[in-house]
């Protein structure tokens, strides 16, 4: 009996962990950490760094659970999401609401009391922007949902910067712009090979409302914008030779992939573009970090 109860407890724990979308949280915390490292002339204060990372992680996990709660009916009709805990009945909406509120409250409390109020308020606005403005208002209303709502997803480096400095400098805004420009081509690649699911769910994603060709052109144009924005850290002296070498290679491959997608679409190529976009952002921020500590100015 005790073994059965333990197994059930482990299963429940996995259900709640899935609500928190750990892979998404890991990416967001990673970009916030890069913001923390870049904000400090040397290494950031270890305790502040750990507390800020934990606070951002908890608040982000709370926002993810809130997103699952708000989209549970949509998730139930999409193959990509119908196995999530809420659609399959693994947890109840009430449990999810409490879980989301607890995580968000703990995260914001840590940031407010142990980091600084500015970081807590920026995180709270980010939470509201993602869980309410994007999820509840924009996503079901306009095919430009990811363009407008992408501002919330681009905030983590700014949160990291504010956590270390108590302010938001122009360097933090450049990091914001990079993630903001990256978001549409990243998400539209996914929307292309999942467009039939979005259509069944009644969501006005760009491939559903404007078709494949328009979406492919938009991906190509936004990838070009991303390429330009990714060079801005060089223009303001924020990075040096290491970042320059890395970003030229990363941008060249992304542009080539976007062009191939535009010239001859296939679901397999769209999947590759989506996967590459995740790797691209991780490598670009890693290059910024490496350059911060090792590179000489150009």
Which are the contacts of 153, defined by CB distance < 8 A and separation ≥ 6?
28, 130, 179, 180, 183
Task: Extract the tokens encoding 102.
Answer: 């607890």
CA nearest neighbour of 85 among 76, 213, 77: 76
Statement to judge: residues 75 and 201 lie in one domain: no
Which are the contacts of 171, defined by CB distance < 8 A and separation ≥ 6?
38, 39, 161, 233, 236, 238
Residue showing tokens 């079901």: 140
Task: Extract the tokens encoding 12.
Answer: 């429940």
Total number of residues shown for the chain: 298
CA distance 297 to 280: 23
Statement to judge: residues 160 and 242 lie in one domain: no
Statement to judge: residues 147 and 194 lie in one domain: no
Task: Extract the tokens encoding 256.
Answer: 């080539």
CA nearest neighbour of 126 among 144, 102, 107, 99: 107
Residue 254 lies in a domain: yes
Statement to judge: residues 190 and 89 lie in one domain: no
Statement to judge: residues 146 and 188 lie in one domain: no
Q: Are 176 and 230 a contacting pair, CB within 8 Å?
A: no
Residue 70 lies in a domain: yes
Statement to judge: residues 97 and 21 lie in one domain: yes
Statement to judge: residues 22 and 164 lie in one domain: yes
Final residue of a domain: which of 168, 191, 226?
A: 168
Statement to judge: residues 86 and 212 lie in one domain: no
Digit-coded pLDDT (tens) for 141-181? 999 999 999 999 999 999 999 999 999 999 999 999 999 99
CA distance 252 to 283: 14
The total domain count for the chain is: 2
CA nearest neighbour of 256 among 227, 234, 231, 229: 227
CA distance 245 to 176: 21
Which are the contacts of 123, defined by CB distance < 8 A and separation ≥ 6?
55, 56, 59, 107, 108, 111, 155, 159
Provide the whole-model pTM.
0.94
Statement to judge: residues 160 and 178 lie in one domain: no
Q: How confident is the model at residue 82 (pLDDT cuts 50, 70, 90)?
A: confident
Question: Three-state DSSP class for 13?
Answer: helix
User: Residue 3's pLDDT is what?
Assistant: 53
Separation of first and last alpha carbons in the chain: 67
* 164-174 b/e (C-beta count within 10 Å ≥ 16 → b): bbeebeebbbb
Digit-coded pLDDT (tens) for 172-231? 999 999 999 999 999 999 999 999 999 999 999 999 999 999 999 999 999 999 999 999
Question: Three-state DSSP class for 240?
Answer: strand
Lowest mean pLDDT among 75-79, 275-279, 282-286: 75-79
Statement to judge: residues 30 and 103 lie in one domain: yes
Final residue of a domain: which of 115, 134, 168?
A: 168
Domain that residue 131 falls in = 13-168
Average pLDDT over residues 64-86: 90
């Amino acid at each position: 009996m005790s073994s059965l109860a333990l197994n059930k407890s482990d299963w429940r724990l996995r259900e709640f962990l899935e609500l928190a979308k750990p892979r998404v949280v890991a990416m967001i915390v990673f970009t916030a950490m890069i913001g923390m490292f870049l904000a400090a002339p040397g290494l950031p204060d270890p305790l502040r760094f750990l507390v800020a990372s934990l606070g951002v992680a908890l608040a982000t996990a709370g926002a993810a659970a809130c997103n699952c709660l708000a989209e549970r009916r949509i998730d139930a009709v999409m193959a990509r999401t119908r196995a999530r805990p809420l659609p399959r009945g693994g947890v109840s909406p009430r449990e999810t609401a409490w879980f989301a509120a607890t995580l968000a409250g703990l995260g914001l409390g840590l940031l407010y009391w142990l980091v600084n109020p500015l970081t807590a308020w920026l995180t709270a606005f980010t939470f509201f922007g993602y869980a309410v403005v994007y999820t509840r208002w924009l996503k079901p209303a306009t095919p430009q949902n990811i363009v407008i709502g992408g501002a919330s997803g681009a905030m983590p480096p700014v949160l990291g910067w504010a956590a270390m400095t108590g302010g938001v400098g122009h360097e933090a805004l450049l990091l914001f712009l990079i993630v903001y420009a990256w978001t549409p081509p990243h998400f539209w690649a996914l929307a292309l090979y999942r467009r039939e699911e979005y259509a069944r769910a009644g969501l006005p994603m760009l491939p559903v409302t404007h078709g494949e060709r328009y979406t492919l052109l938009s991906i190509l144009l936004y990838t070009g914008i991303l390429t330009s924005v990714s060079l801005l850290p060089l223009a303001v002296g924020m990075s040096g030779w290491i970042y320059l070498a890395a970003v030229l290679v990363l941008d060249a491959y992304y542009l080539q992939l976007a062009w191939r997608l535009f010239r001859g679409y296939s679901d397999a190529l769209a999947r590759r573009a989506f996967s590459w976009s995740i790797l691209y952002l991780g490598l670009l921020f890693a290059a910024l970090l490496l350059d911060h500590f090792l590179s000489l100015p150009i």
